[in-house]
Protein backbone atom coordinates (compact mmCIF):
# COMPACT_ATOMS: atom_id res chain seq x y z
CA UNK A 1 0.00 0.00 0.00
CA UNK A 2 1.39 3.38 -1.00
CA UNK A 3 1.26 4.97 2.45
CA UNK A 4 4.14 5.76 4.74
CA UNK A 5 4.64 6.77 8.34
CA UNK A 6 7.23 9.53 8.58
CA UNK A 7 8.89 10.54 11.82
CA UNK A 8 9.97 14.18 11.65
CA UNK A 9 12.95 15.50 13.52
CA UNK A 10 12.05 17.35 16.70
CA UNK A 11 14.23 20.37 17.51
CA UNK A 12 13.96 20.16 21.26
CA UNK A 13 15.54 22.45 23.82
CA UNK A 14 14.63 23.91 27.19
CA UNK A 15 12.16 26.29 25.52
CA UNK A 16 10.14 23.49 23.97
CA UNK A 17 9.80 21.58 20.69
CA UNK A 18 9.80 22.60 17.03
CA UNK A 19 9.14 20.44 13.96
CA UNK A 20 9.92 21.75 10.45
CA UNK A 21 8.65 20.17 7.23
CA UNK A 22 10.00 21.11 3.79
CA UNK A 23 8.22 20.18 0.57
CA UNK A 24 9.97 17.65 -1.70
CA UNK A 25 12.55 17.10 1.02
CA UNK A 26 10.77 15.85 4.12
CA UNK A 27 7.64 14.93 2.17
CA UNK A 28 7.45 13.71 -1.46
CA UNK A 29 5.37 16.51 -3.02
CA UNK A 30 4.92 20.27 -3.33
CA UNK A 31 2.43 21.70 -0.85
CA UNK A 32 -0.35 23.63 -2.60
CA UNK A 33 -2.85 23.63 0.25
CA UNK A 34 -3.13 23.06 3.96
CA UNK A 35 -6.22 22.56 6.06
CA UNK A 36 -6.93 21.40 9.57
CA UNK A 37 -9.75 19.59 11.30
CA UNK A 38 -10.60 20.18 14.96
CA UNK A 39 -13.56 20.19 17.38
CA UNK A 40 -14.63 16.85 15.94
CA UNK A 41 -17.76 15.48 17.52
CA UNK A 42 -17.30 12.33 19.60
CA UNK A 43 -17.88 9.27 17.44
CA UNK A 44 -17.73 11.19 14.15
CA UNK A 45 -16.09 9.57 11.14
CA UNK A 46 -14.58 11.86 8.49
CA UNK A 47 -13.00 11.24 5.12
CA UNK A 48 -14.87 8.27 3.61
CA UNK A 49 -13.39 9.01 0.23
CA UNK A 50 -10.35 8.48 -2.00
CA UNK A 51 -8.62 10.81 -4.44
CA UNK A 52 -7.87 10.22 -8.10
CA UNK A 53 -4.55 12.10 -7.99
CA UNK A 54 -4.21 14.07 -4.75
CA UNK A 55 -1.42 13.16 -2.33
CA UNK A 56 -1.62 14.18 1.30
CA UNK A 57 0.27 14.15 4.54
CA UNK A 58 -1.66 13.96 7.81
CA UNK A 59 -0.28 15.03 11.17
CA UNK A 60 -2.29 15.04 14.38
CA UNK A 61 -0.50 18.05 15.86
CA UNK A 62 -2.53 17.86 19.08
CA UNK A 63 -4.48 15.02 20.65
CA UNK A 64 -4.96 11.80 18.70
CA UNK A 65 -7.07 10.07 16.07
CA UNK A 66 -7.12 6.93 13.93
CA UNK A 67 -6.95 6.60 10.16
CA UNK A 68 -8.21 3.55 8.30
CA UNK A 69 -6.48 3.11 4.94
CA UNK A 70 -7.68 0.84 2.17
CA UNK A 71 -6.08 0.36 -1.26
CA UNK A 72 -8.84 -1.96 -2.45
CA UNK A 73 -6.85 -5.04 -1.44
CA UNK A 74 -5.92 -4.59 2.19
CA UNK A 75 -6.97 -2.36 5.05
CA UNK A 76 -4.72 -1.02 7.79
CA UNK A 77 -5.37 1.33 10.67
CA UNK A 78 -2.79 3.87 11.78
CA UNK A 79 -2.99 5.77 15.04
CA UNK A 80 -1.78 9.36 14.91
CA UNK A 81 -0.82 10.31 18.43
CA UNK A 82 2.34 12.35 18.16
CA UNK A 83 2.96 15.79 16.59
CA UNK A 84 6.16 14.53 14.94
CA UNK A 85 4.43 11.59 13.24
CA UNK A 86 3.29 12.18 9.66
CA UNK A 87 1.16 9.83 7.59
CA UNK A 88 1.77 10.08 3.85
CA UNK A 89 -1.19 8.90 1.77
CA UNK A 90 -0.81 8.50 -1.98
CA UNK A 91 -3.70 8.83 -4.41
CA UNK A 92 -6.20 5.97 -4.87
CA UNK A 93 -6.36 5.14 -1.15
CA UNK A 94 -9.72 5.10 0.64
CA UNK A 95 -9.42 6.80 4.06
CA UNK A 96 -11.62 7.08 7.12
CA UNK A 97 -10.58 9.21 10.08
CA UNK A 98 -12.16 8.33 13.44
CA UNK A 99 -11.69 8.16 17.20
CA UNK A 100 -10.73 11.83 17.44
CA UNK A 101 -9.90 12.90 20.98
CA UNK A 102 -11.84 16.02 21.92
CA UNK A 103 -8.61 18.06 21.78
CA UNK A 104 -7.45 16.62 18.42
CA UNK A 105 -6.17 18.94 15.70
CA UNK A 106 -5.51 17.10 12.44
CA UNK A 107 -3.31 19.07 10.06
CA UNK A 108 -3.33 18.06 6.40
CA UNK A 109 -0.78 19.07 3.78
CA UNK A 110 -2.06 18.54 0.25
CA UNK A 111 -0.37 18.37 -3.15
CA UNK A 112 -3.18 20.16 -5.06
CA UNK A 113 -5.76 22.85 -4.61
CA UNK A 114 -9.25 21.78 -3.59
CA UNK A 115 -11.01 20.06 -6.49
CA UNK A 116 -14.28 18.22 -5.95
CA UNK A 117 -13.70 16.37 -9.27
CA UNK A 118 -10.69 14.63 -7.74
CA UNK A 119 -12.86 12.96 -5.08
CA UNK A 120 -14.21 9.41 -5.23
CA UNK A 121 -16.93 9.33 -2.58
CA UNK A 122 -18.55 6.03 -3.51
CA UNK A 123 -16.74 2.90 -2.29
CA UNK A 124 -17.82 0.76 -5.25
CA UNK A 125 -16.59 3.46 -7.62
CA UNK A 126 -13.30 3.44 -5.73
CA UNK A 127 -12.88 -0.32 -6.26
CA UNK A 128 -13.68 0.18 -9.94
CA UNK A 129 -11.11 3.00 -10.15
CA UNK A 130 -8.42 0.73 -8.61
CA UNK A 131 -9.27 -2.06 -11.07
CA UNK A 132 -9.17 0.28 -14.07
CA UNK A 133 -5.83 1.74 -12.95
CA UNK A 134 -4.38 -1.79 -12.78
CA UNK A 135 -5.70 -2.72 -16.21
CA UNK A 136 -3.86 0.23 -17.80
P1 LIG B 1 -15.06 17.12 3.71
O2 LIG B 1 -14.46 16.63 2.43
O3 LIG B 1 -16.42 16.64 4.04
O4 LIG B 1 -14.08 16.79 4.93
P5 LIG B 1 -13.48 15.35 5.39
O6 LIG B 1 -12.51 14.92 4.34
O7 LIG B 1 -12.81 15.62 6.70
O8 LIG B 1 -14.60 14.39 5.53
O9 LIG B 1 -15.03 18.72 3.71
C10 LIG B 1 -15.86 19.49 4.54
C11 LIG B 1 -16.22 20.78 3.80
O12 LIG B 1 -15.08 21.59 3.59
C13 LIG B 1 -16.86 20.52 2.46
O14 LIG B 1 -17.93 21.43 2.32
C15 LIG B 1 -15.76 20.88 1.47
C16 LIG B 1 -14.94 21.90 2.22
N17 LIG B 1 -13.51 21.90 1.88
C18 LIG B 1 -12.96 23.00 1.24
O19 LIG B 1 -13.65 23.97 0.91
N20 LIG B 1 -11.63 23.00 0.96
C21 LIG B 1 -10.83 21.95 1.30
O22 LIG B 1 -9.61 22.00 1.04
C23 LIG B 1 -11.42 20.82 1.95
C24 LIG B 1 -10.58 19.63 2.33
C25 LIG B 1 -12.77 20.83 2.22
pLDDT digits (tens, 9 = 90+) for 36-58: 999 999 999 999 999 999 999 99
Given the DSSP bridges, would you call strands 94-98 and 46-51 parallel, antiparallel or unpaired?
A: antiparallel
Residues of the chain with pLDDT under 70: none
For ligand 1, atom 20: residue with the closest CA: 114
pLDDT computed for residue 4 by the predictor? 96
**Cβ of 119 less than 6 Å from ligand 1:** no
* Dihedral sign for Cα atoms in the order 15, 21, 25, 26: positive
In ligand 1, the atom with minimum distance to the C-alpha of 46 is 8
Residues near 83 by beta carbon (within 8 Å), at least 6 away in sequence:
17, 19, 59, 60, 61, 62
pLDDT computed for residue 80 by the predictor? 98
120/131 Cα distance (integer angstroms): 14
Amino acid sequence: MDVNKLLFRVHNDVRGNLVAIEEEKDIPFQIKRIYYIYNVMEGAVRGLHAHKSLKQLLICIHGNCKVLLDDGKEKITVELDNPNLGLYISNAIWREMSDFSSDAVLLVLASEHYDENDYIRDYKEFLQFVKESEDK
